[in-house]
């Protein structure tokens, strides 16, 4: 299977804190990869390095390479904004812009790139909301505030906002941790539908979720990548004792 993103000797720091330690990983194209591990192990930092969000934190820095389709996104002269257009991110808590309508939330990223044509905006709203499995629920209420809908709908609106700029990769940082089981199931169903079009990476503290949705799973501990492979093997026959201890609940 072809890799969409490859990290080589990736190290990430917050000041003197060494958060990611020499991680080498290949993220398969058009598949769902889950990143699991205990709190503070570097899961979120790892994916934030994959679209150059890590560097927006004061005192943060990255060493090593992150290759997107064979090109290093940290190479001199590379436009970080363009990287984030290709590699979208959805955060832990739904964060629609509260002063914007559902419509304006969906195309916020597109407008930032300078798109003003109403026909393009209208078609993008419908397309992205359909991709996020939200269109039928909100199509008659697009002028309503983005925060007037349920938490699960808000998270799907954030996914629609990320998809509107036509990324190639979608990073999700514990996207269901603030949601109820019904909303979580809708997000998981959505990820299955999206993986034919996008490469998806999901950080999750929920191992059952990783087992349900992911084609491949990476286990991280204290900033290091301990084990990576096909999800079924990771959960049923891990190679590393540390992986087995975490999956069986003996720590974490």
Per-residue pLDDT tens digits for 104-140: 999 998 898 888 999 999 999 999 999 999 999 999 9
For residue 252, what pLDDT is reported? 67
CATH 1.10.357.10 fits 3-92+168-247, yes or no: no
Question: Which SS3 state, helix, strand or coil, does residue 46 take?
Answer: helix
- Mean pLDDT, residues 54-65: 94
DSSP letter at 214 equals -
Give the separation between CA 121 and CA 16, rounded to whole angstroms.
44
DSSP 116: -
Residue 112: predicted pLDDT: 86
Count of Cβ atoms closer than 10 Å to residue 70 Cβ: 7
Longest dimension (CA), the chain: 56
Question: Backbone dihedral region of 174: left (phi > 0), alpha (psi from -120 to 50 degrees) or beta?
Answer: left
Each domain of the chain, given as residue ranges in start order, spans: 3-92+168-247
**Whether residue 181 has pLDDT greater than 90:** yes
At 250, is the pLDDT very low, low, confident or very high (cuts 50, 70, 90)? Answer: confident
Q: Is the pLDDT of residue 238 over 90?
A: yes
Q: Could you give the CA distance from residue 80 to residue 175 in angstroms, rounded to a whole number?
A: 23
In whole angstroms, give the CA distance from residue 180 to residue 200.
22
CA angle 212, 214, 218 (to 5 degrees): 120
Task: Give the Cβ contact number of residue 72 at 10 Å.
Answer: 14
Q: Across residues 2-18, what is the average pLDDT?
A: 97
Task: Report the percent of the chain where pLDDT is more than 90.
Answer: 92
Looking at residue 134, what is its pLDDT? 97
Distances (CA, A) of 61 to 58, 85, 197: 9, 21, 31
- Predicted TM-score (pTM) of the model is 0.94
Structure tokens at 65: 């390479």
- CA 99 from chain center: how many Å? 24
Q: What is the pLDDT of residues 133-163, one digit of tens each?
A: 999 999 999 999 999 999 999 999 999 999 9
CA 134/CA 193 separation, integer angstroms: 13
Of the chain, the percentage scoring pLDDT greater than 70 comes to 100
Q: Per-residue pLDDT averaged across 197-221, rounded?
A: 96
| pLDDT interval class at 2 (50, 70, 90) | very high
Q: What confidence category does residue 251 fall into, taking pLDDT thresholds of 50, 70 and 90?
A: confident
């Amino acid at each position: 299977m072809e890799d969409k993103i490859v990290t080589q000797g990736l190290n990430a720091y917050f000041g003197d804190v060494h958060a990611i330690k020499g991680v080498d990983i290949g993220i398969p194209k058009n598949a769902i990869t889950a990143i699991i591990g205990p709190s503070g192990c570097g899961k979120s930092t790892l994916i934030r390095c994959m679209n150059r969000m890590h560097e927006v934190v004061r005192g943060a820095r990255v060493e090593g390479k992150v290759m997107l389709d064979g090109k290093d996104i940290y190479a001199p002269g590379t436009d970080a904004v363009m990287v984030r257009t290709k590699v979208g991110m959805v955060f832990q808590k739904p964060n629609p812009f509260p002063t914007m309508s559902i419509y304006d939330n969906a195309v916020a990223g597109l407008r930032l790139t300078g798109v003003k044509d109403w026909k393009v905006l209208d078609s993008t709203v419908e397309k992205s909301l359909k991709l996020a499995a939200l269109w039928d629920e909100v199509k008659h209420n697009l002028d309503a505030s983005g925060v007037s809908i349920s938490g699960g709908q808000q998270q799907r609106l954030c996914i629609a906002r990320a998809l509107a700029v036509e990324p190639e990769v979608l990073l999700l940082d514990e996207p269901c941790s603030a949601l109820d089981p019904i909303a979580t199931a809708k997000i998981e169903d959505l990820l299955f539908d999206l993986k034919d079009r996008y490469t998806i990476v999901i950080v999750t503290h929920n191992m059952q979720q990783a087992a349900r949705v992911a084609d491949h799973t990476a286990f991280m501990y204290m900033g290091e990548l301990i084990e990576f492979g096909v999800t079924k093997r990771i959960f049923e026959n891990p190679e590393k004792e540390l992986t087995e201890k975490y999956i069986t609940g003996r720590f974490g």
